[in-house]
Each structure stands twice: as C-alpha cells, then as structure tokens.
Amino acid sequence: MLTFDQIKILPKAAIHDHLDGGLRPQTVAELAVSEGYQNLPTNDPVKFAKWINDACDSGSLETYLETFQHTVGVMQSFESIERVAYECAVDHANDGVVYAEIRFAPELHQHKGLSLDEIVSAVVTGFARGEKDMAAAGKPIVMRTLLTAMRTAARSTEIAQLAIRWRNRGVVGFDIAGKEAGYPPSRHLDAFDEIHRANFHMTIHAGEAFGLPSIWEAVQVCGADRLGHGVRIIDDIKKLPDGTFELGELAHYVRDRRVPLELCPVSNVHTGAAKSIAEHPITILTKLGFRATVNTDNRLMSQTSMSNEMYLLHTQAGFTIEQLRWLTINGMKSAFIPFDQRLAIINDVVKPGYAKAIVEFS
C-alpha cells in the first residue's frame, strides 16, 4: 500500500479544476477585507473551510454551487484574481501536478467593472508568475486556462468569442457549467458553433447531476471534445448475472470514440453523483477501457487535491500505481494543448516519473 507522501510525488495531470473552487481559506479571509466583501459566514479561515465543506457535502449539486458566491465575491479586482491564479499554480505544483487546465467563468468577476479581457489577463498573468516561480523551485508546471460560460445565463457566445480571442495566450478551450436540470447544453449551440468554426476545443459539464440525456446532447448535438464529469454514463452500462457488462449505444459511442471523462471522485460523492469512492463508477469505467481521467473539481469546496483523489482511489477503490499512471496518461492525452506538447510531457515527465516511483516503491 502506498503512503500519501509517496502518491504526492507522482506526476499528475489535472484537466478539470475550477479556479474559484480552489482558493486557500486564508486567502478568502484576507481578500474579503481588501475587497470589502462582507457576506462571509465567518472570517475565521479554519471555520470557513469547515463551513464550506459541510455545505458542499450535501448530496446536492445545487447546494454545492451556492457556496461559490463567497469565493467569486472576493475575486472582483485584477489584483485578487491574479493572486488566486498564482496560488493555484503554486498549490498544484507543490502537489506534484505537472500539467493543469484551470477553468473559470469571466462573467462572474465583473461586479466592480473589470472588462472580460482584463479578467482573463489577470488569470493568465497569475499562472505565468506561478509557472516561473515553481520552475525556479524545481517543480515545473504547465498552467493553461479554459473559459467557462454559465449555462443559466445568455452570454455563452460572448465567452466563446473571448476564448478564441485569447487562444495561444494561455487559453486552450471553452466550457459551459452550472445547473444541468432545465438548462440543456443545446441552449448554447451558437457558442459551440463559434468554437467549431475556429477549430478550437471545448468541454461541456454533462452527466454530473442530470444523466444520459445531458451526455447525449453534449456529445451528439453540441460536439463536445470532452465531458465535464460524465459520471452518469454508468447508467447506460448493465452488469449481467455472470459478472460481465453490457454497454448501451451511448456508452459504446463514448468509449469507442475515446471521449474523455473528466471524473472528480470526491466531488461526485459530495454532489450525490456517486455513493462513495469505493463504489464510484471510475472503477468500472477504467475496467471497461473508457478514457477515464481523475480530477479535483473544487479543491476548497471538497477539501481535496490531486494527491488526495489518487490516494483515496488507491486505498478505497484498490487502484494500483500502474492504474494511477494510466489515469494520468489519459489526462495528458486528453489535454487541449498541441499533440507534440502533450507527447513531450508524457514521455519526458510522466512516464519517467512513474517508472522511477514503481522501482522505488516496490
């Protein structure tokens, strides 16, 4: 059995992580003062971390999402957004992450008059500063950004155009997020058309709380490159009496087309998308050869990290170091950076890192 410290040094790829879901509790408290945000349930960082974790561990996606009002509330200036982005890069690098795609919704950070471009610039600037400092510390990390539009709003085309405008300057794709029930991804076809016409990348939050219809629309109607969560694809897989599995047509399509699933085990348990880590569909999906990846979703809300996600999969779901390696390579294969860059990280960083660890830990 691997220890947490051993898992922490393994190379990791995080492709589903929300910037406003990963703030340090101390940073929230300090920014609340500098930003003049007065709605925190408590100004004590320790108590705030517990409050937000308790609120998120409710089994409800809607309740989970309500907690973001506080983190978004303290991210309304260029300086605060840049700081959060910088700390995100540092925290991931210190956790063994070598590549990360961090998503955020620019439209949520305009309460004090920042333009959309200023908001993206703040994030990209913070990530670049974090990359530089962590490279100097001997913990290199590549940080990239996904711009998210809220599926409950009507600004998705504007955000898609923003993402395209910032491509090759740190932004590598587009996403939609928010409440699934009642807000199907097909409401945002104009935005997806913008992305397709620009030969750009996109992922869609689907199959987290709603199920197969959301996944079907995301893949077949909207043309998503990846599925944000996609955990409910398990509903299209039947376990037969002899212990084998029978895939439905949608599950077959998702697996056979190698559509990446951005699975977030701890978050999925908190939102009720999975019963427990031990029973999380990632075990079956891995066994059946889906393009499964492991991610954090929201590190503050779920009190998690990439190391924690992997440690729980190892200790509670029986994942071996070889399977953790497979999940990491899947994450890199699914990244939105150019193929040669993905390949370089896989061959020069991930594979050697795991090969060394396997020898040392055996």
SS3 call for 202: strand
Interacting residues of 274 by C-beta distance below 8 A, sequence separation 6+: 231, 265, 268, 280, 281
Number of independent structural domains in the chain: 1
| Among 157, 216, 208, residue whose Cα is nearest residue 181 | 208
Phi and psi at residue 147, to the nearest 5°:
-95, 125
Q: Which pTM value belongs to this model?
A: 0.96
By annotation, the residues acting in catalysis are 208
Residue carrying the six token digits 């500098």: 34
**Do residues 306 and 14 make contact, with C-beta atoms less than 8 angstroms apart?**
yes
Helix axes 116-136, 78-94, angle to 10 degrees: 30
How far is residue 178 CA from its own chain's centroid?
13
Question: Which CATH number does the domain housing residue 104 bear?
Answer: 3.20.20.140
Tokens (6 digits) for 35: 């930003």
* pLDDT digit string (tens) for the chain, length 362 residues: 999 999 999 999 999 999 999 999 999 999 999 999 999 989 999 999 888 888 877 777 677 777 899 999 999 999 999 999 999 999 999 999 999 999 999 999 999 999 999 999 999 999 999 999 999 999 999 999 999 999 999 999 999 999 999 999 999 999 999 887 788 889 999 999 999 999 999 999 998 878 899 999 999 999 999 999 999 999 999 999 999 999 999 999 999 999 999 999 999 999 888 999 999 999 999 999 999 999 999 999 999 999 999 999 999 999 999 999 999 999 999 999 999 999 999 999 999 999 999 999 98
Tokens (6 digits) for 177: 């997020």
Could you tell me the strand order of the sheet in which 261-263 lies?
A: 12-18, 97-104, 142-150, 171-177, 202-206, 226-229, 261-263, 292-294
Q: Which helix (H) or strand (E) holds 206?
A: strand 202-206
**Do residues 309 and 277 make contact, with C-beta atoms less than 8 angstroms apart?**
no
Whole domain around residue 216: which residue ranges?
Answer: 4-361
